Structure 1
Amino acid sequence: MRFLLVEDNAELGDAVVAWLSMEGHAVDHALTLAEAHDWLAVAEYDLMLLDVMLPDGDGRSFLRETRTAERLPVIVLTARSQVADRVDTLDLGADDYLTKPFDFAELEARCRAVLRRRGTPAPVVIPLGSALFDPSSGTLTQDGESQRLRNRELRLLEVFARNKGQILSKSHLLDRLFSQDAEVTENAIEVYVGRLRRRLQQAGVQIETVRGVGYRMTAP
């Protein structure tokens, strides 16, 4: 998944980015509303985490703007714990809110819940040849033996598994796995694809290279 975090507290923002990145998600971090506008203009996100009090404006006004422009799911991060504040936030169109300070595991759980409600497919066991892939547990099971995937291997395999038969460009895969400011090249995708090929070899699953375009997963 790819997230946009709008949070002016650099320390908190870095911690959130680090946590979600460890879970294999791509996160872009905007410190101001102006930066958030810039990110939204150039990238596609699965969910936005939005602070309320920002240096250049009120996050609630920004929430109202985004609600008229697109259906991007939004979780508001706020230090305000009064019931009236929470009700106002939800009435403006937020999908959920989280009061600071919060636990990172709870944040990720709320992200999953919002995406389920918004119609993003919930993780289910996906058959891949003779293997079974479970995105929720991050495991690939074959012949009764399970192997746990590393975070970015997991996210990459989920992208392929949900788009079997489709050609996916390297740039698209980079966009799903890494934030915009991550210093990575398309070679990183080649490395992860190589790892997945070795894991899937016995299952009869192939990740084909489509020269000059990208990759395509085929499975019986």
Structure 2
Amino acid sequence: MTADVKSWVRFVRWPAESKIREECRARRRLCLLVVEHGAPPPERIGLYEDWVRPPIVPEDLQARVSQLEARVVLNEKPVLDPAGILFFRDSSVTLSMLQCEILSPLISRYSQVVYRDELQKILEQCGASASSNAIDLHVLRLRRRLQPLGLTLRNVWGRGFTIEPD
């Protein structure tokens, strides 16, 4: 076990330290439950936790920890998967392929400005209308799709758009 693993993930004996597990859940802290000999594993596992039974090979432990750390990204930054599903925090929404094309640069430069002419080029490459009104219509539709996730597509006057948490 390395020092960086200890700083990110809390190791909790299950079920003996179930109260510590609840504290980790409330604080959204990464938690690896070490299931004690003979105890059943927890019935439900949250986004920020996983479980193992000892003894565990160091490589397997590191793989579990890496998976936990990767899950944290879902709370910090939206993730757009190749199937057209946008994940953010504990929610997801399915998008059209054109919406994915438009949203891709906004997510890759999260909280930074994406200029209107970039979106115009994307629309042209997709064979869609690239007029100013068309861009505004696509942005309006995207705003509606992103709202349930807690994301806002903001207009940066005279320049372009940025995507940010509410």
Which protein has the larger Cα radius of gyration, Structure 1 or Structure 2? 2
Normalised by the length of structure 2, the TM-score is: 0.46
Question: When the two structures are superposed, what TM-score results if normalisation uses the length of structure 1?
Answer: 0.36
Higher relative contact order (CA 8 A, sep 6+): 1
